[in-house]
Structure 1
């Protein structure tokens, strides 16, 4: 090797990082996919998946559910612990939700805390009604309104995040032609 560094070959340029070009709608799609599913949505999906399962007094398994057993297992699947009975579930949350403020995933209580269901969509709940029936989704009737004691929201942060996600979904795609990452 010659003095002064002669004879050293210049270093080859490093390979540039691969680039990805995305359109505005593709950027929005990536943003939407990064939003985690809130606990209330996991719980609701669980409860809705159990439609047709028989009511079993004291049940909290695939063989059958009573009303509070269904709520217990649905929220357990979402990582939120609930007490066993409807009255205990109601009492476990200090913040109560009014009829007019019900959102999907809220637990709704009726008949002197003798029954609980979960709001599935505006005006409907999923529940395990009584002996001889099955887990089902049903419209909140006027009779239910009269028997309503109160409601609780086991996943308030998830409800807020879902509202933000819904706003993101409704928003137009970013006003850009492309983005290279």
Structure 2
């Protein structure tokens, strides 16, 4: 089963041409970078936990306790859904705008409402925890002045030890903004 949210398409292939918008169909929502090792490791841990819950549910089913089996199955499905949602978290771009997908909420800003997309130095959350560190963040400045949480930070689960990947992803999102933003 293909998982398109895990692929970065041709943007990071060594043989791909060095262009900012390498995608064939700009109407599809794309994440212009690969998920980071911390995010993938957390999702893998959740899927491993779900497999243990399913195994426990199978043992309970063989023991003949149907309500316990249903609880285990329901809990495993919730954990699997959380792992898949965790893999979708990040910044997504298309011809229509830029989208910040969080674990619970999603914010979409059309390109005609974007004044600028830029990288700034500011305190950022470390791996999404309340602790902040000084770092870089890719922010969207709206025309109306509404605050949008940072799209990417160099201390999130995708870029914690990958500064070069953060720079490449930020440049790619900025290129999408320059291409489709109306001044």
State the TM bucket, normalised to the shorter chain: under 0.3
Q: Which has the larger radius of gyration?
A: 1
Q: TM-score, normalised by structure 2?
A: 0.24
